[in-house]
């Protein structure tokens, strides 16, 4: 019999968004989780990748232009501002400085969507990997918010490991790498997340991310005519 945390409990990727249960984020519970240092340190191993994949990944991570957030209409801009306000409130105790918090959320939103990833998924990965610690370093050397292994800066970047402490660079590397694994695993989140963490086929890490992903989902409010207070 499979354990409750096994892959059998993951929704099929074809209807992933339609079948996930919605959960209300408990801020006190999340704060306790982060305070106990429950982040899963990555131990991703360097592996051979095809030249075409390497070049595509290199292009994805070397564009250093700042996020340019644009919206096709006012409704989508209002939805984004509502999301930003809600996420800012959730993160207030974890990232106390308002300017840093907003910059982090704007960058996470931009980089996740740039890579074709659900922003709640990326927030879940960050929670599990680093507990939102910008300067986190694992025993294996994984660095920053998304615990990117330094060898990636040599494989697809300019070799400057210090860039992994830069917010946008770290999120860009992490999102691009996760996108690559998701493509290589034909959209299988369970296996792709396992590869990202260096534990492919094991359930502990992807199950932890799944739970975190659910916590960071945004339940859209009725459309508002003006920006919410994000302080």
- 24 burial class (0-12, 13-18, 19+ CB within 10 angstroms)? exposed
pTM above 0.75, yes or no: yes
Write the pLDDT tens digit of every residue in 174-206. Answer: 999 999 999 999 999 999 999 999 988 899 999
- Tell me the C-alpha to C-alpha distance, in Å, between residue 116 and each of 74, 92, 112, 175: 22, 26, 6, 9
pLDDT at 146: 96
Annotated domain spans of the chain: 22-61+70-215
pLDDT at 26: 39
pLDDT exceeds cutoff 50 at 67: yes
The 3-state secondary structure of 12-33, one letter per residue: CHHHHHHHCCCCCCCHHHHHHH
pLDDT at 51: 77
Q: What is the mean pLDDT of residues 107-116?
A: 93
Q: Which residues contact 131 (CB under 8 A, 6 or more apart)?
A: 33, 34, 37, 38, 39
**CA-to-CA distance for 231 and 211, rounded, in angstroms?**
27
What's the mean pLDDT when you consider all of the chain? Answer: 80
Cβ 190 vs Cβ 206: under 8 Å: yes
Look up residue 227 and give its DSSP letter. Answer: P
Q: What is the CATH number of domain 22-61+70-215?
A: 1.10.530
């Amino acid at each position: 019999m499979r354990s409750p945390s096994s892959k059998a409990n993951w929704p099929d990727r074809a209807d992933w968004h339609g079948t996930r249960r919605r959960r209300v984020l408990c801020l006190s519970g999340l704060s306790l989780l982060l305070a106990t240092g429950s982040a899963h340190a990555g131990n991703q191993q360097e592996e051979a990748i095809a030249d075409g994949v390497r070049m595509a990944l290199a292009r994805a991570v070397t564009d250093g232009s700042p996020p340019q957030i644009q919206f096709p209409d006012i409704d989508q801009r209002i939805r984004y501002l509502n999301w930003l306000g809600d996420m800012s409130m959730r993160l207030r105790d974890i990232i106390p400085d308002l300017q840093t918090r907003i910059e982090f959320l704007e960058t996470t939103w931009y980089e996740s969507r740039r890579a074709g990833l659900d922003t709640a998924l990326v927030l879940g990965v960050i929670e599990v990997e680093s507990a939102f610690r910008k300067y986190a370093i694992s025993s294996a050397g994984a660095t920053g918010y998304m615990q990117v292994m330094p060898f990636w800066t040599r494989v697809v970047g300019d070799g400057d490991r210090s860039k992994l402490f830069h917010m946008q660079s770290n999120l860009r590397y992490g999102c691009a790498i996760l996108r690559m694994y998701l493509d290589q695993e034909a959209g299988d989140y369970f296996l792709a997340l396992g590869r990202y963490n260096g534990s492919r086929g094991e359930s502990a890490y992807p199950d932890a991310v799944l739970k975190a992903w659910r916590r960071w989902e945004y339940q859209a409010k009725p459309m508002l005519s003006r920006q919410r207070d994000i302080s």
